[in-house]
Structure 1
Amino acid sequence: MHCGTCALVTSSGQLIGSERGEEIDRSECIIRMNDAPSVQYQPDVGRRTTVRVIAHSSLQRVLRNRQELINASQETVFIFWGPSIAMRRDGRGHVYNNLRLLKQLLPKLKVYTITRLKMLKLDELFKKETGIDRKGSNSWLSTGWFTMAVALELCDRISVYGMVPPDFCRSSSHRTVPYHYYEPSGPDECSMYLSHERNRRGSHHRFNTEKMVFANWARTHDVHFYRPNWKPTAIGSNSSYTLIGP
């Protein structure tokens, strides 16, 4: 699979009221995450889905919304990621077992899993880019991390919608939005980012650290950020990014 232009649509509340739907749908391929819906939100997030990257922890939510996310999306490629214990193929991997049943119900469904070897390589990449050992720091890579990795392999140009710059939430004047555009009463996005970044007990995502890596990748790959519009500046400048519009 190869795409010239891709829209990577996050699940962020930053997309509320963006009216980017038509622009997103003009991309050759459109990548979404987990159970983020497009129905009822099409003016802001578009209607098409080419690839959907899904975490093991989101499987049940996707299955509950199967009519909208799966049955109506026979042309969508589904890529699942999760720990090897959930993906094992000896009958004891609960995610893999569910996917096998789903494939039996919908034989034309295009569903794949990220292999254990690929997971290990992405762990190594995180350590290489950040100097942080994922396991040693009690970190879980986010679905956004896996989605960006998939997009870099599939796409020549990537337009990312709804991803804020790495330091966005440290500003007292940052825009307050829900963590998910489809859960308006859910947690605040920046509160979620900062609590995960700071917490050292239990397993947490390092959202802001990952965004710093994405900003670095955007300096050497054809990656662009919209809503908010920003771009990384040259390495060695005073700021790691520049805001260029709403």
Structure 2
Amino acid sequence: MPYRSTRKPMNGIPAGYRKYAEPHSKSLCCCGCPNIFAVILLYGMLAIVFMIVFICFSASSGRQYERDKDPFSSKTFYQRKTKEDIELYKPKEEKGEHIEILRRRLTDLTDGYRDIKDLKKKYYNHCKTCSVVTSSGRLLFHQAGEEIDSAECVIRMNNAPVVGYEEYVGKKTTSRIVCFRSVANLKKSMLTGRGFTKEVVVWGAENPSHGRWAMSKLKMFLRQYLQTKWFSLKDGGEEIANAIFESETGISREKSHTWLSTGLFTMLFALQTCDNITVYGMVDENYCKLHKEIEAPYHYYENLPWNECEFLNMHENKMKQGHRYLTEKALYRRFASMFNLNFKYPAWNLTNASHVDFKSPFREKYMKEHTKR
């Protein structure tokens, strides 16, 4: 008969089996029981890894470019209109007063552009003569390259190239005004070699509603193309452009679902930084209505499903979400009565340009829509 221990079991384990169970119990205690020092070490390492990832993410996403708490904040400066924004535009009786207000806003807007390498530096360049080159396919009708390059400064928009089109659009690029969405479309040929751009001026990249990807992309280009100077419009600058658009046209940008174009930002930029401006390839607000037979590509460097007038009219006739290109061109006609602003290829008839009168297809529809309510 096998021997059985008569001692009482300890911890539920018979005495005869303790020699087998004890080593197992000790290993369970060593490995299974929580070790306070191991836990602290583990959490400490996780905290360090988290901090490293956070720092890297912040640096890559442009966290240091957070909007400044200054008078140009959209909530503290240029408050939106409420009841007045649907009334007819009431121009200033005195032209001098009108120009003074407009110039002050233009100065505020231009001061909003700052050097990305040194955020304390505002945009500082100024030119006596400027050529503003559009992206219109009408530029292919004229060999104006040398004429465009004869200006002290040449301003281009977004990703409009010069390589391969020098005969028509020139080869010099002083400033390239770029929407934050078009930064990713900039190619090497636009920033180096024959297509070298001295400075890229970006609007919209620092607006928090646009996310961080735009500034991240901008920083990547900055590190890649060190010879080019990079400027960005700080948050709140778009509100100044909105105020100019609304006060000059009488149209609420928000209620009319209007998107401001890079062309408008380019023109506002040029009015402040140039003494004399010549715009190449831009049609006026009535051109498509009077010259339907003269077709041209919307862009000189790519084939799109629409020609220029079809595209302009398509946006102008939308009542929900769109650019108001023809309305902006009517605005440029008004600017021509106040600044040294001229247009070529095609030339504009500016004999009736006035700082008071303002007519555009969209504005007429907008006002009729609101007067019915």
Determine if the TM-score, normalized by the shorter chain, exceeds 0.5: yes
- 1:232 aligns to what SS in structure 2? coil
Letter in 1 for 2:344: Y
Structure 2 match to 1:29: 153
Equivalent residue number for residue 310 of structure 2: 191
Q: CA–CA distance in 1 between the matches of 2:243 and 2:215?
A: 24
Structure 1: 5+ residue stretches without partners? 241-246
Change in 2 beyond 3 A, CA 1:49/1:186: farther
TM-superposed CA distance for 1:74, in Å, is 5.6
Would the alpha carbon gap of residues 121 and 239 (structure 1) be closer, same or farther in structure 2, given more than 3 Å must change? closer
Per the TM alignment, residue 142 of structure 1 is displaced from its structure 2 partner at its CA by 0.6
Q: Which residue of 1 aligns with 2:168?
A: 44
Letter in 1 for 2:311: M
Give the aligned partner of residue 219 of structure 1: 337
Cα pair 1:168 1:174 within 8 Å, conserved: no
Question: Which of 1 and 2 has higher RCO (CA within 8 Å, sep 6+)?
Answer: 1
Closer, same or farther in 2 for the Cα pair 1:102/1:225, shift >3 Å? same
* Count of aligned pairs between the two proteins: 232
**Runs (5+) with no aligned partner, structure 2:** 1-124, 360-373
- Contact 2:333 2:353 (8 Å CA) reproduced: no
Partner of 2:200: 78
CA deviation profile, 1:94-124 (whole Å, cap 9, x unmatched): 1111111222233333111122222111100
**Inter-partner Cα distance in structure 2 for 1:235 and 1:7:** 21
Match of 2:143 among 19, 36, 45: 19
Structure 2 counterpart of 1:22, one-letter code: E
Percent identity for Structure 1 against Structure 2: 35
Number of the residue aligned with 2:126: 2
Equivalent residues of 2:330, 2:358 under 8 A apart: no
Larger Rg: 2
* Amino acid across the alignment from 2:208: I
The 3-state SS of whatever aligns with 1:7 is strand
Q: Which has the higher strand share?
A: 1
- In the superposition, relative to structure 1, how do residues 20 and 200 fare at CA in structure 2: closer, same or farther (>3 Å)? same
How far apart in 1 are the matches of 2:235 and 2:255?
Answer: 19
**8 A contact 1:224–1:231 mirrored in 2:** no
TM-score (norm 2): 0.59
Cα deviation, residue 76, structure 1: 1.3
Give the distance between the partners of 1:86 and 1:43, measured in 2 at CA.
Answer: 40
Distance of 1:232 and 1:58 partners within structure 2 = 32
Aligned alpha-carbon RMSD (Å): 2.2
* Secondary structure of 1:16's aligned partner: helix
Residue 230 in structure 1 maps to residue 310 in structure 2: no
Deviation at 1:174, TM superposition (A): 4.5
Secondary structure of residue in 1 paired with 2:349: strand
Are 2:319 and 1:206 aligned? Answer: no
Give TM-score scaled by structure 1 length: 0.88
- Counterparts in 2 of 1:36 and 1:186: CA distance versus 1, 3 Å: farther
Q: Which amino acid aligns with 2:265?
A: F
SS of residue matched to 1:119? helix
Which sits farther off after the overlay, 139-148 or 104-113?
104-113
Equivalent residue, structure 2, for 1:106: 225
More helix by share: 2
Shift of 1:219: 1.0
